[in-house]
Structure 1
Amino acid sequence: MAFRGPKVWLWRWRRNPLKRRADAVEAWVLLAAWALTALAGVLAGLATAGTVERGMARERVEWRPVVALLTEQAPGTADSRTVTPSGATIWAKVRWSAQDGSTHTGQARVRPGSGVGTPVTVWTDPEGRLVTKPASPSEARSRAALVGGLAGVSAASVPFVAGRALRSRLESRRIDQWGYEWARFGPLWGGRTTG
């Protein structure tokens, strides 16, 4: 294992007669990549989380509960209510009226064995279409944080990967330059060493 010596902070930006232009360029590329990674991740995450949370807040305002009536006998029997776990529901066809008075039909979750005409609460959007129950404020914050976090990580990966690729390219050029310089000046040292 090679001895590396004590760790020196900001060594890439210190004056050193052996530091080449390629070292300085690599240092600035690395700094820019990390800064862009952090900035892109934070901005994309915050913007996405805000958009998701505002969308869910709008849903809570616009979506309304409506009483719908079953149009057919729900599958199952009245006895199946006692057999199925508490809260178990099945899909059945229901009918409801939108705010403009138009009649709509669709599928909603109901208790097994419910009869025709049984009232069921469903949620609708302003056009009267069936939607899910809107998320509560705490659920909306959790979902927004999750989606924002995923968007932030995705956005941050772009400058991170680009920075790594550019740094790899710079390192490859530097190694090629070392080979060229060695081939040029190595023979000038004269004499060969034998062991």
Structure 2
Amino acid sequence: MWTAMGVWRWRRNPLRRPTDLLEAWVAFAALVFVLLVAPAVGCVTGLEVDGTLQRAARVQQQERYLVPAVVVRPAAEPPAGAGADATAQRQTPQRTPIVASWTAPDGSSHQGTVPAAEEPPQAGDRFRIWTDLRGRLVGRPLDPSVASAHAALVGLAAAVGAAALVETVRRLVVRRLVHLRYRRLDRAWAAAGPDWGRAGAGG
């Protein structure tokens, strides 16, 4: 609002310099962009990302299956002195690795090392794991609500980024205009300075 008032105030002011009016219009254009265009950019970006993530979520839900598994035995512990990576893993809280067996949706049998569903794991315990059609271990499919939340964050970031870009451009333009004013003032002072204060110099 103050920017629009500034444009109107400088419209007929006799002291107005061309750079003053240009600066006011640049500020007005930046304000319009921040209030109207940046939210639109964020909305379009968020919708596009949400559509992509929702399609990925649907594909994952169709291609990933929650199948029953049975604990066979605890997995072998890494050998002592296996290196810094093994030490870091032991210090990091995590579920106990176990050897489990499961049957894939296509009917094939599998056995592998997976994290235990409960602590402490006992042989014969039953739990469920995510696999693909052939029984290969996969992660949990993307939840549609989580996808929407991620898309909203991306849209918000796009809107903020667009507004920040416009403000940066506005500041750069204003900085150039200020430098231009100083150069013009220096030239005017260089022309009038030698005659400043002299009688009959047209002052």
Quick check: TM above 0.5?
A: yes
Q: 2:140 aligns with which of 120, 132, 137?
A: 132
- Structure 2: where are the runs of 5+ without partners? 77-93
Structure 2 counterpart of 1:114, one-letter code: P
Aligned position for 1:179: 186
Whole-angstrom CA distance in 2 between matches of 1:74 and 1:8 = 69
CA shift, 1:168, in A, is 1.9
| Contact 1:33/1:163 (8 A) holds in 2 | yes
How large is the RMSD of aligned CA atoms in angstroms? Answer: 3.6
Structure 2 counterpart of 1:96, one-letter code: W
CA shift, 1:98, in A, is 3.8
Aligned position for 1:112: 119
Q: 1:94 to 1:130 in 2, by over 3 A?
A: farther
Aligned position for 1:96: 102
| Contact 2:63/2:133 (8 A) holds in 1 | yes
Structure 2 counterpart of 1:25, one-letter code: L
Q: 1:53 to 1:153 in 2, by over 3 A?
A: farther
CA shift, 1:111, in A, is 0.8
Deviates more, 1:116-125 or 1:44-53: 44-53
Q: 1:31 to 1:42 in 2, by over 3 A?
A: farther
% identical aligned pairs: 32
Within the alignment, does 1:17 sit opposite 2:18 as a pair?
no
Q: 1:130 to 1:121 in 2, by over 3 A?
A: same
Please state whether the residue corresponding to 2:154 is helix, strand or coil. helix
CA shift, 1:182, in A, is 3.0
Q: Deviations over 1:131-176 (max 9, x none)?
A: 03542x4444333323332343234323332332232222222233
Q: For 1:45-194, list aligned pairs within 5 A.
A: 45-73=46-74, 90-101=96-107, 103=110, 105-125=112-132, 128-132=136-140, 134-135=142-143, 137-188=144-195, 190-191=197-198
| Contact 2:60/2:141 (8 A) holds in 1 | no
Please state whether the residue corresponding to 2:23 is helix, strand or coil. helix
Aligned position for 1:31: 28
CA shift, 1:106, in A, is 4.3
Whole-angstrom CA distance in 2 between matches of 1:18 and 1:182 = 18
Structure 2 counterpart of 1:27, one-letter code: A
Q: How many residues align?
A: 173
Q: Deviations over 1:1-44 (max 9, x none)?
A: xxxxxx78432253333322222332333334344442544443
Whole-angstrom CA distance in 2 between matches of 1:58 and 1:153 = 31
Structure 2 counterpart of 1:16, one-letter code: N
Aligned position for 2:82: none
Whole-angstrom CA distance in 1 between matches of 2:166 and 2:45 = 13
Whole-angstrom CA distance in 2 between matches of 1:155 and 1:129 = 41
Q: 1:117 to 1:134 in 2, by over 3 A?
A: farther
